[in-house]
Amino acid sequence: MDRSSLLQLIQEQLDPENTGFIGADTFTGLVHSHELPLDPAKLDMLVALAQSNERGQVCYQELVDLISSKRSSSFKRAIANGQRALPRDGLLDEPGLGVYKRFVRYVAYEILPREVDRHWYFYRHRSCPPPVFMASVTLAQIIVFLCYGARLNKWVLQTYHPEYMKSPLVYHPGHRARAWRFLTYMFMHVGLEQLGFNALLQLMIGVPLEMVHGLLRISLLYLAGVLAGSLTVSITDMRAPVVGGSGGVYALCSAHLANVVMNWAGMRCPYKLLRMVLALVCMSSEVGRAVWLRFSPPLPASGPQPSFMAHLAGAVVGVSMGLTILRSYEERLRDQCGWWVVLLAYGTFLLFAIFWNVFAYDLLGAHIPPPP
């Protein structure tokens, strides 16, 4: 039975007078007697939705949205009010799962703070489309690094090689007019250690986030962190170049960590405190290493070393824009006031950074190193 036939049957048998409301118990009996194809998560949510209503009824339009895999803000609030009806450990206790479904269950508990959202995501998740953005970015970064490593015959501290900064991908203050460099620098890395750190975090955190929140949201967050990183460097460290995808990586990591903190009681990921401490230590160590390379380089170099400000800018983007995105699972961003505030703030920063790059360097007489 297709979806339209199911809805027609429900309306004819359960709401013949077109009152707009349907009894939850009667509907559940109809589902079982006719063996209707409805996901277990949707049945659980139907019971929770009915419990939020004093008369034990469900609005017909909300039922249509549920069967059509749509959840409005009012629907989610009603579900939250009846959340006690949902089995709290249902997913953890579910036996006989294959490897991929176990991974999906792991992602649900890793990313989502509410059991109702975990059930919803687990039962409606489809493997197509796959999380291609973070995997593609990581693969491209590895390929570019291998190409330059083989060409320069240097796998660590590549920025010390005189030919490295001649790449058309690196952001250099002397090439500010080449706007693509404000984004493409994310494909270049200082060395194997920076690439390994970024690739590991992108795959461990970025891929699960993309599986849950989708390609558009996570790519927007990642690229916003990358762009904010290079623009922040152009304002605060006007002589320094930028390489590496740390702006985007720190946007993802800080958004995820902030989401875990904001929903600490609901998060069920194992050893969350220990993992958060380790993540903060690793991120702080990476920033400290970048500061050391910027101000106390181990080898003499022909010009300033890449700036560390991209890391901090990415973290700010993650806490602001990223937290807004991750807190709105299955809800349109344009319906949230907070999203427009964050978007306005980011747009204002972009306009200021553009004017700064066009006029400030000449007005301040900044002595930037000659471009390679």
Q: How many helices (H) and strands (E) does the chain have?
A: 19, 2
Distance CA 246, CA 257 (A): 16
Token pair in block for residue 268 = 């069920």
Distance CA 182, CA 327 (A): 28
> Computed from CA positions of residues 72, 223, 294, 345, in that sequence, does the dihedral angle turn out positive or negative?
negative
Taking CA atoms, 21 is separated from 10, 33, 61, 62, in Å, by 11, 20, 9, 9
Distance CA 335, CA 98 (A): 37
Helix, strand, coil: what percent of the chain each, to 5? Answer: 70, 0, 30
Q: What contacts 119, CB < 8 A, 6 or more positions away?
A: 40, 41, 44, 45, 86, 90, 91
Catalytic: 172?
no
Token pair in block for residue 95 = 């036996």
Token pair in block for residue 169 = 């991908």
Relative to beta strand 21-23, strand 57-59 is: antiparallel
Query: Which of the following is catalytic: 189, 213, 256, 311?
Result: 311
CB atoms < 10 A from the CB of 258, how many? Answer: 18
Query: Which of the following is catalytic: 246, 254, 307, 320?
Result: 246
Beta bridge partner(s), residue 57: 23
- Ramachandran category for residue 38: left, alpha or beta (phi over 0 → left; psi -120 to 50 → alpha): beta
Catalytic: 285?
no
Length of the chain in residues, anyone? 372
Distance CA 364, CA 369 (A): 15
Q: What contacts 76, CB < 8 A, 6 or more positions away?
A: 330, 331
CA count, 13 A, side-chain hemisphere, 300: 0
Q: Active-site positions?
A: 246, 311
